[in-house]
Each structure stands twice: as structure tokens, then as C-alpha cells.
Amino acid sequence: MTRPVVGIIGNQYLINDQYPAHAGGEMNSEAISGVSRCMPLLIPADPRFVSIDELMQTCDGFLLTGGRPNVHPEEYGEAATEAHGAFDRARDAIVLPLVRACVESGQPFFGICRGFQEVNVAMGGSLYPEIRDLPGRDNHRMPPEGTLEEKFALRHTVAFSDGGVFHKLFGASEVMTNTLHGQGIKRAGSRVVVDGHAPDGTPEAIFIEGAPGFTLSVQWHPEWDAANDPVSRPLFESFGQAVHAWAEGTRPESVLKSA
């Protein structure tokens, strides 16, 4: 039986610091294949190679992955500074309109880290260039040293709105997550509901109010050990169910309707 296709948004990458490539983390493919039960398809996020219409006709859902480059601040009306880091304008040009198209059509997407931030910007929101520079905020960046296990280790709690979407999904009002990001939501976009926060107040979980499909996005990295982690697995299972439903043409009502 053919599995539904999940387009995994890739990132620009230089092999040996000189050969241009589009790259995607293996753990993203593992989570989509093993937990969501879908076929992972790496997308070259560049409008020279793909269009929004082609992507939506080819894929049944989208995983908006993390990535080192940040969304360009011009996308939310601010000037670029050194604190904003590197950019990937080609990915901006694909993912931001793709998010808006999926919100309207009900085609499912799941945003992770940069993907979480892209969803907010696509809906008219803005970002802080560096969370750790804000008064009272913690350093959410990836530890500079250590093994992958140490870099992706659980580091803080995320508390959810009582009775909200994520509370119902996890069956818990609070979970432990990893944290590997520098930027974060400054102003929530139109219809963006912030449903979970870190202890320092940083938004960590969002969805789009009134959207007809799956729009959950998180600031942490649930693709790490997704098959075994009790927080990661429900996210990818729920996303997979939405993608399967879309592929089958059932177009179910929003998973958020009961929230």
C-alpha cells in the first residue's frame, strides 16, 4: 500500500564548505516514516525548482523543519542586524506562502523550531533576534559542546493552556522538552494561538485558530528520538493521522475544533 507523502522542507547546505546542496536531517525522515507512517520526501526549498501549487499537488502534508538560517526580518517589517544571524531567502520565498496556502486549504503541516517561527511570520507575526538578550529570559540555544544526546537533552518544561489543544494531546498540562533555538516569537501573528510557554515566558507551542486542518507547531525539536520520547511520539502520530486523512480524501474537521 502506498503511503501518504510528507514533504520535508530542506535547507541550503555546503558540502565540504563549497559544494551547494539541499539537506535534511535523517531524524526528520525517521520520525515521518516510523511514527507518522508516511513517506518522507525532501523538498528543495527554492522557488527556482518548485512552486507552491506543485508542492500541494505532490504532497499530502508538510514538515517545516528547523534550520540554522533564520527568517529574514524584512518579512516582518524590521531591518536585518548581526544578531539575526544567517538567512535563507529562497526558503522564505517557498515556506511562508506555503503555510498560508495550507491554512486556507486545510492541508496539514507541522512546524518545528524555524518552522514554528515561519508559521508565525507567515501569519503576520514578528520575531526577537536573540531570546537570551532579553531581560529575564534564558539561553535557549544549543549547547556548543557535547554529544548529540547531550545537545538534545531535556532542558526545561513547557506549560500548556488548561484544556487547550496541547494539553489534550499530551494528557498533561506540562512536559519536558529540549531547546535549541536563538530566536523566538515577539508578536503573535493573526490567528496564531500561543498554547504553551517555557518557564521564562518564551512561546513554545502554537496553532492557527479556526484553521480547517492540522497546524500544530513547536519551538523545540521533537524529531529527536521521536519513536520513543513520550512527548515527541504523540505529535508525530497526530500529524500522521491528519496526513493519512488528507490523502484518503476524508478532509476531516479540524483536530483543534474541540479545544
Average pLDDT in the 177-182 region? 94
pLDDT at site 139: 87
Residues 185-231: pLDDT tens digits? 999 999 999 999 999 999 999 999 999 999 999 999 999 999 999 99
Q: What does pLDDT average to over the chain?
A: 94
Q: Where are the alpha helices (DSSP H) in the chain?
A: 26-34, 52-58, 89-105, 114-122, 148-151, 165-170, 232-247
Parallel, antiparallel, or unpaired: how do β-strands 192-197 and 109-112 relate?
unpaired
Report the distance separating Cα 19 and Cα 83, nearest Å: 27
**Residue 145: partners with Cβ closer than 8 Å, 6 or more residues away:** none
At residue 86 the predicted structure's pLDDT band, cuts being 50, 70 and 90, is confident
86: helix, coil or strand?
Answer: coil
- Please give the model's pTM, rounded to 2 decimal places: 0.94
For the 5-247 domain, the top CATH level (class) is: alpha beta
At residue 252 the predicted structure's pLDDT band, cuts being 50, 70 and 90, is low
Q: Is the pLDDT of residue 256 over 90?
A: no
Residues of the chain with pLDDT > 70: what percent?
97
At residue 144 the predicted structure's pLDDT band, cuts being 50, 70 and 90, is confident
Residue with more model confidence, 250 or 127: 127
Give, in order, the Cα–Cα distances in Å from 96 to each of 46, 111, 148, 185. 12, 12, 30, 15
Residues 55-72: pLDDT tens digits? 999 999 999 999 889 999
pLDDT at site 257: 43
Contact 107, 61 (CB under 8 A): yes
Contact 45, 89 (CB under 8 A): no
